[in-house]
Chain A
Amino acid sequence: MTIDTVKAAKKSSKQEQPYTELGLKDDEYERIRQILGRRPTSSELTMYSVMWSEHCSYKSSKIHLKQFADKAPKTDALLVGIGENAGVVDAGEGWAVTFKIESHNHPSFVEPYQGAATGVGGIVRDILTMGARPVAVMDSLRFGKADAHDTGRLLPGVVAGVGGYGNCLGLPNIGGEVFFDESYAGNPLVNALCVGVMRTDAIKLASAKGKGNKVILFGAKTGRDGIGGVSVLASATFEDGDAKRPSVQVGDPFAEKVLIECCLEIFAADLVTGIQDLGGAGLSCATTELASAGDGGMRIDLDRVPLREASMAPEEVLASESQERMCAIVEPGKVDAFLEVCRKWDVLATVIGEVTNTGRLQIYWNGDQIVDVPPRTVAHEGPVYERPIQKPPEQDAYVRHDGSKLPRPRTGDELRDTLLKVMASPNIADKSWVTDQYDRYVLGNTVLAQPEDAGMVRLSEDTNRGVAISTDGNGRYTLLDPYVGAQLALAEAYRNVATTGARPLAVTNCLNFGSPEDPGVMWQFSEAVRGLADGCQQLGIPVTGGNVSFYNQTGHSSILPTPVIGVLGVIDDVTRRTPHAFRTDGAHIYLLGDTRDEFGGSEWMDVVHGFVGGKPPAVDLERERLLADVLVDASRDGMIDSAHDLADAGLAAALVESCLHGHAGARVAVPDGVDPFVFLFAESAGRAIVTVPRSEEARFTELCAARGLPHTSIGIVDLLSADLELQDDFSVSLAELRAAWSTPLRTLFDA
């Protein structure tokens, strides 16, 4: 094997290099030559190509994402903002929480189990890197039509992968989403979220500071798996899945579990000055990011990296995305103690280099220098594109053909049939086929989990403080109007958190879109980012981090533009949380907010008419804020004993879920002058139902009236009844509803 050294590169400046195959454009390659004043070595070329990939460099999205910082609202809640591995939120009383969501879409299509499993593993390491103990995960999944043949391959594999990895790590899965739409058929979305907890003084940052400090690589050995994952899989449109299988990483959750415990013991003993996980772009990313954020210089002896296959070339070692690896910066005096903890957990740890003050990242292979670069040029000063943006012509057609003429159910029987049909649609139906495969109890702090509106965990067993998280994203709304669609996703996640009684504080996002080289997709993307940044500013909750996933398309056909938004909230006392099941006999059901004739992008239109069109529901963030305030205050003061957000399939779905989960009947009356169909199925935003015990009714209605929140008494919970009754229109037994709602996914995927 000939090693291409810096010395050789200086001598043979004209040598042809395979930069196109590595995904670099002509002008990008030229820039690398300018930066270095010579041709790059093959190792340098590898590092630039993976780090300048769309996935790592955000070259198409950067100019748009800037808005999250520019428009960031003032807040005291943020301890670490955007730019680190994950943002950190002040949870009060010395507690800090960190959370982030990330995509693993293309790997999951190629290899559903491993793709999804390593998606969970990667995001958990991001959280661990901040110094936090990971305490829960969530997964936001999207597939093609539920009855499509390939969904039968992908969904069970993805769910088993998410479960297999998370369950083995001992992390409760507390919620998420499963959504089906034809557009995801050749490109499913697998977005994984993790949340971690630490004391505020224990936050760790990814920086390599202090000349002479040692660089220690620890965890699994480095192998040939996942080479070029970020450039091959994540940064191009994607046709031949089988040929790309070697680019998918393979996960070992047991190794990660041990690595977590080992890291937490290392953190507790204060043995590191900086730490970074190895994810996308492996060592190329970890070394350049650590060096950029620190003193700027680092020397690495790459041949010291423990390998699974001895024949690996240095380029492969630099690009490998082998899982379950971390890189730490350790003072020389603490190296022995560090290695001792690793030995206790049987974790392999190797000193591979040290921090220098040269301002350059210099990498050696058996004594030959193979890399000599300014690290910032690799990690942060990659290309930035202002991609062409153009509103697609079909956009106006959505408004013209808004579906307002589609026949609507009128009679009681028609409404009843529609209700059963909508409840049995895979998007609304019971998801326990999925969630029963996830451990939700482990760690003993899960207060709320799926199917609640948001997941909630207690921070530790010696406090009642907790966090609630929800992820939401409606691709149909975003297709019809990306600006409003992104805000609706934000509003729904925000509302879901407030519904459980927690105060929303911070946002993470995973922006799943088609090819940035398509001006129509870039229009969707730029509108969605603008909507989200404006929305966060208005709601006063900052974006703390996230991830962009482009090239989600099959041939020329893109997925529904899908910003998945995660909102995190804090609750002072988890014993005051509000679940969504009806549970008190005689409690009054109140509908909060305004219901309008809004059906654009609705579940009803899709299920009954197979039609997507019109405008998405109007978004009013001031109203969302008011609603959240009332939900949080009413929960804290014990005025409500259940609350459920209204979203897909509107009031109908919320009523049925609250009845079924509470094993409680209900009698509901349509308010005077309201159309029963609109009442049940409209998807107007800014709404929730709550139940108010009789003793609290006066206080609760006074609270709503004083704050100016519309509130309508619409019915009563009847624990002895086995029916959901819509007075004067229809009655349907809970048994019939349960059969319709709980069987679809089982029937489809148990086959």
Chain B
Amino acid sequence: MGVVTFPGSLDDRDAARAVRVAGGEAVPLWHGDSTLSEVDAVILPGGFSYGDYLRAGAIARFAPVMEAIVKAAKDGLPVLGICNGFQVLCESHLLPGALIRNDHRKFVCRDQRLIVENASTHWTAGYQKGQEIVVPIKNGEGGYVADEHVLDMLEAEGRVVARYTDGNPNGSLRDIAGITNEAGNVVGLMPHPEHAVEALTGSGTDGLGFFSWMSGK
């Protein structure tokens, strides 16, 4: 599983560790790479790529590695974008909608309860539909927005992957925490499952499923 490092990526080490804890092999990918080292899946980790001074994810989409990822994703490569990675996926138009400043205007870090709504993507196959999990959330620009038409389409096509429950932490429309593309190989998720793979250092182990599907296969 490839894990991309942009300048300013922060949770890249954590994502790689999550892959290893789940029994997989993590392959570091550099933002300047134009090939993907034959990985079977890619994770775009959280952080502040290139400082995010313009808009979260807005510069990262132009990185050479993103060109390769966009192309491979369209050919079915499983791609998971976490937090900043979700923002990069939206900026790259692999996923619809956008992420804006939290409605309360503050950064928020807390353990968040989610409902898995779609358990048939590559990344969520380890869960049951309707399963509740607790995963940390930490973002300043995590409010998911899209126009009504897109939101209705996502709902109708079952493309809402996870929803916040027990309180919406950032003002996301329809409590959306994560979505997928039509094919189900690209998933964007605002919460951080890589911080829920070890009870000692995370909120628990509820996030493991996002990383174990490949080694479990």
Contacts and interface: CB of A to CB of B under 8 A. Distances in A.
B7 A440 contact: no
Given A170-B47, A254-B8, A447-B200, 12 more contacts: A160-B107, A168-B48, A168-B51, A170-B11, A439-B107, A440-B109, A441-B192, A442-B14, A443-B14, A444-B194, A444-B202, A574-B200
A345 B17 contact: no
Interface in A423-470: 432, 435-447, 458, 461
B85 interface: no
Given A168-B8, A168-B48, A258-B8, A436 B195 contact: no
Contacts of A255: 51
B107 A257 contact: no
A439 B104 CA distance: 17
7 contacts: A167-B107, A168-B51, A254-B7, A437-B109, A438-B107, A441-B195, A447-B201
A164 interface: yes
Interface in B185-217: 192, 194-195, 198, 200-203
Contacts of B136: 441
B109 A345 contact: no
A160 B104 CA distance: 13
Interface string B109-144: 110000000000000000000000000101010000
Interface of A: 160, 163-164, 167-170, 252-255, 257-258, 261, 345-346, 432, 435-447, 458, 461, 574-575, 750
A254 B201 contact: no
A261 B140 CA distance: 23
Contacts of A458: 200-201
Contact of B201 (A164, A252, A258, A445): A445
Contact of A345 (B7, B107, B195): B7
A169 B48 CA distance: 9
B101 interface: no
B8 A444 contact: no
A164 B53 CA distance: 12
Nearest to A169: B10
B195 A437 contact: no
B85 to A, nearest CB: 14
A164 B52 CA distance: 12
A668 B41 CA distance: 55
B109 A438 contact: yes
B202 A441 contact: yes
Contacts of B173: none
Contacts of B8: 168, 254, 257-258
A167 B137 CA distance: 13
Contacts of B17: 444, 461
A254 B50 contact: yes
A254 B109 contact: no
Contact of A436 (B14, B53, B110): B110
A547 to B, nearest CB: 27
B107 A164 contact: yes
Contacts of B110: 432, 436
B13 interface: yes
Contact of A252 (B7, B51, B192, B198): B51
A443 B7 contact: no
B138 A258 contact: no
B13 A436 contact: no
Contacts of B52: 254
A254 B48 contact: yes
A458 B136 CA distance: 19
Contacts of B51: 168, 252-255
A750 B104 CA distance: 9
B13 A444 contact: yes
B14 A258 contact: no
A271 B47 CA distance: 28
Contacts of B198: 444
A445 B51 CA distance: 24
B106 interface: yes
Contacts of A432: 110
B1 to A, nearest CB: 16
A133 to B, nearest CB: 11
Interface in B10-38: 10-11, 13-14, 17
Contacts of A163: 107
A575 B110 CA distance: 22
B206 to A, nearest CB: 14
B182 to A, nearest CB: 32
Contacts of A258: 7-8
Contacts of B107: 160, 163-164, 167, 437-439
Contacts of B109: 435-441
Contacts of A444: 13-14, 17, 194-195, 198, 201-202
B108 interface: yes
B53 A446 contact: no
Interface string B46-68: 01101111000000000000000
Contacts of A253: 48, 51
A442 B10 contact: yes
B201 A436 contact: no
Contacts of A461: 17
Contact of A575 (B140, B195, B200): B200
A168 B51 CA distance: 8
Contacts of A441: 14, 109, 136, 138, 192, 195, 201-203
A446 to B, nearest CB: 6
B53 A254 contact: yes
A447 B50 CA distance: 29
Interface in B75-108: 104, 106-108
A467 to B, nearest CB: 14
Contacts of A750: 104
Nearest to A164: B107
Contacts of B48: 168, 253-254, 257
